[in-house]
Amino acid sequence: MSLIVTRPSVGAIAVVDNGPLVSAIVVTRNRESHVRECLTALMEQTIADRMEVILVDQGSDECEWAVAADLQKRYGNISLLRVPSGAARRAVNMALRMAGGRYLTIVDATDRMRRDAYQQLAAALEAAPTAMLAYGDTCFTAIPHESFASHTSYGKVIWPDYTPQQLDQLSEVAPHPLWRRELHDSIGFLPEGYPNHGMREFLLKAAERFRLLHLQEFTGLKLIATNATGVQAQPQPDPAPVQGPVPEPVAVEAVPVQRPAPVATPAALPSAEEAYAALAPLLSGDDADGAAAALLEHLLRYPQHAVAHNDLAAVSYRLGDCSRALEEYREAVRLEPNEAVYRKNLADLLYVELGQVDEAIDIYLKLLEKNPRDVETLLNLGIICAGVGQPGEAETFLQRALEIEPWNQVVREQLSQLRQDQQAGPAVASTDPEQDEKTVEDRYQRSQELVQQGDLTGAEAELVAILADYPDFAPAHNDLAVLAYDKGDNEAARTHYEKAAQLAPGNSTFQKNLADFYFVEGYDVDGAINIYLDQLRKEPKNVETLMSLGKICTILDRPQEAETFYGKVIHLEPWNRDARECLDTLKQAANS
C-alpha cells in the first residue's frame, strides 16, 4: 500500500483565511473503535473553527480510514494520511510537515482532551512570545471510551516545570504538548523509532534551548495499559468517576506510568520498535553496563535498527569506550543517513573526543545546507571555528544563530567571549578608562536600549563611539545606516550598509538591508537582485527573500517571475495572506 493523502472538499467548519491556529495530528493503528469518538471530540473543541486535524493511519488492519472519511463529509477541516506499516515511523513527521497550523500537537486516537485545552495552551503561548512549547497536567484512566468530562480516574500527574536535567531522568513526559511550528526550524522534527512518538527526546531538545510553559491545569486524559484482551493499570486506582470539570489539582509526584512489555511468541515476533520500547526503563536508568548488554542483545535480533545503534554509541561513550561509540554512530548514520540527530552525534564525538576537526566541520556544513536555520549546528560551527583559529568564520556562524534566536543566551555568551578574545589581541584598544571595563557587546546592548527608549541621538553617539574603538564591528555600521536613513542622509546610510555587508558577508540581515536600500533608492537595482538571489541560494525556503524578489519582479514588469516567487511562498506557507493578495493582483492584471 502506498502513501495516500485525502483532504476534505466540503464541510461545516471553515478554517480561517490565513490558516489554522492549531494543527492536531491524530495517530492511530488498529483503533477503529476510538477514531470516531476522538475526531468528534476534537471538533467540539472551543476553537474547532480555527483547527485542522490530520488523522495518521499507520498501516492499520482495521477500518479507521472509512470512519474518518465519513466524518470528512460533516467537517471541513479533517485530512487523512494513510501510510504502509513499513513507513509508520516516519508518518508523524510527514503529518507535521503537511500541517499548516501556527501551533502543532500530537494526540493518540485513545486520548481525550479537555474541551478548552487547545484554547488555553494556545493563549498561554500567545501571551509568552519567548516560550516555544506549552503543556498541561494529565489525568489517567484504564477504561476505554470515556470522555475527559466524565471518566473513571486511575490517577493524575502534575508534571514538573521541565529542565533538561529533569527530562534526562524521566522515562515518561507530558503527553499532549502544544508547540510553535517554527520550533522545527531549530531542533528538527521528532526523532523516529522512540516510544511515544519520541516526545521525551523532542522535549529534551526543546528544553535545552528554549523556554517551556507549564500550564498548571489538567488538560488531557490518557488511556493507559490497554491491550487486546483487556486493561492492566499500574497507577493507584481512584474509582470515583469525574463528573463535570476537574477539581483543583493536588500536587502529586510525577511517577512514570509502567506499560507491559511486548512478549515475543513463535507466531508473532515483535517489531524492532515494540521490542525496543520494552528496553526504555533500562535505557533511562543509571545502569550503563546493563543498558549496553541489552542493546547488544537487541541488535543481534534487529541489526538494522538505527536508533539502537545510536543509543549503544551513547552508552558506550558513557562507559568510556570512544572507539565503540564511533563505530556505532557511524552505523546509525549508514542505516539512516538523513537523520540529523545521528549525524550531529557523530560530528560531536569526532570533534570533542577525537579531534577530527575536518570531518566534523564537513558533517555540520552538510547539515546546515539542509537546514540553514539550525541554531545548534550554527553554534557548533562557531565553537569549532573559534577553536581552530578562524574567528571571522566563527563570528559569522554565531551572529547568524543570534539573528534566528535573539534570546539564546548560550550563543550570546559564545559571541561575547569570541569578541573579548579578539579585543585582547592586537586590536585597537579603547582610550577611555570607563569603557575598558565594558565589552563591545555590552556597549552595543546599551545602544539598543537607547533606541528602545526613543533616544536616537544617544544611540547614534554610542554607536559612533563603538566604531572609534572597534572600526570593524559590523552591527554598529548596520544600525548607524538605519539611523542615517531615517534622518534622510542617504549617503551615510549607503556607506554604513555597504560596510556592514562587507564585514559580515554571512549575515543575511545585513545583506538584505543593503539590497533593500539599493532597490528602494534606485542606486543599484541589479545589485539588489543579485544579493537576494545569493541569499535565496543559501536559504531556498526563506519567505522574506521570496516575497522581496516577487515585489521587485512586479515593479520591473516581470510578472511570470513574480508569480513563481509568490507561488513558492504559498507552497511554504499556505496561510500567507500577503502572498495570496500579490498573486491575485498579478492574475487580475493579466486577465485585464
**Mean pLDDT for each consecutive 10-residue tract of the chain (592 residues)?**
46 49 93 92 93 89 84 87 74 87 94 95 91 93 88 84 83 91 89 84 90 93 60 36 38 38 44 79 77 88 88 87 89 88 86 80 87 85 84 86 76 81 54 52 81 84 88 87 87 90 80 85 82 83 85 86 87 79 84 73
The set of residues, in sequence order, having a beta carbon less than 8 Å from that of 152 and lying 6+ positions away, is 141, 142, 143, 146, 239, 240, 241, 242
Query: Over the range 368-397, which residues count as b (16 or more CB within 10 Å of their CB) and which as e?
Result: beebbbbbbbbbbbbbbbbeeebbebbbbb
| CA distance linking residue 83 with residue 17, whole number of Å | 29
Contacts of 87 (CB under 8 A, 6+ apart): 3, 59, 94
CATH architecture of 428-538: Alpha Horseshoe (1.25)
Query: What is the reported pTM?
Result: 0.42
CB-CB neighbours of 587 under 10 Å: 12
Q: Measured between alpha carbons, how far is 297 from 463 in angstroms, rounded to an integer? A: 62
Say how many CA atoms lie within 13 Å of 48 toward its Cβ.
Answer: 18
Residue that has been written with the C-alpha cell 552508552 in this structure: 315
Q: What is the pLDDT of residue 23?
A: 95
Let me know how long the chain is. Answer: 592
Contact between 345 and 360 under an 8 Å Cβ cutoff? The reply is no
Angle (CA) 193-197-202 rounded to 5° is 95
**Where along the chain do its domains lie?**
277-371, 428-538, 541-592
Q: Hunting for cell 534566528 — which residue is that?
A: 404
Quote the pLDDT of residue 175.
Answer: 93
Nearest Cα to Cα of residue 5 among 60, 71, 54, 62: 54
Residues whose CB falls within 8 Å of the CB of residue 408, separated by 6 or more in sequence, listed in order? 209, 375, 379, 401, 402
* Cβ contact 307:193 at 8 Å: yes
Q: Does domain 277-371 have CATH number 1.25.40.10?
A: yes
Burial (Cβ within 10 Å: 0-12, 13-18, ≥19) of residue 426: exposed
Strand 112-113 to strand 51-58: parallel, antiparallel, or no bridges (unpaired)? unpaired
The tally of CA atoms less than 13 A away on the side-chain side of residue 212 is: 23
d(CA 453, CA 450): 5
Which residues contact residue 194 at a Cβ distance below 8 angstroms, ignoring those fewer than 6 apart?
Answer: 200, 201, 307
564 backbone dihedrals φ, ψ, rounded to 5°: -60, -45
CA distance 432 to 320: 50
Supply the DSSP string of 57-69, one letter for each residue: EES-SS-HHHHHH
Is 68 within 8 Å of 32 (Cβ atoms)?
A: no
Q: Which residues contact 400 (CB under 8 A, 6 or more apart)?
A: 378, 506, 507, 508
What are the helix (H) ranges across 20-77?
32-42, 64-72
Nearest Cα neighbor of 259 from 238, 279, 286, 229 is 279
Three-state DSSP class for residue 157 = strand
Distances (CA, A) of 566 to 161, 456, 535, 538, 580: 42, 36, 16, 18, 8
Query: Minimal CA–CA distance to 517: which of 547, 492, 550, 535?
Result: 492
Matching fold, domains 277-371 and 428-538: yes
83, 56 contact by CB (below 8 A): yes
Cβ neighbours of residue 293 under 8 Å, at least 6 residues apart? none
**Cα atoms in the 13 Å half-sphere on the side-chain side of 262:** 16
Q: CB of 432 within 8 A of CB of 461?
A: no
Instruction: At 549, list the grid cell.
Output: 524578489
What was the pLDDT predicted at 516?
Answer: 84
User: Terminus-to-terminus CA distance in the chain, angstroms?
Assistant: 47
Q: Check if the beta carbon of residue 296 is closer than 8 Å to that of residue 290.
A: no
Tens digit of pLDDT for each residue in 72-86?
A: 888 888 988 887 766
Q: How far apart are CA 14 and CA 469, in angstroms?
A: 59
**Residue 61: Cβ-neighbour burial (10 angstroms; 0-12, 13-18, 19+):** exposed
Say what the pLDDT of residue 507 is.
Answer: 76
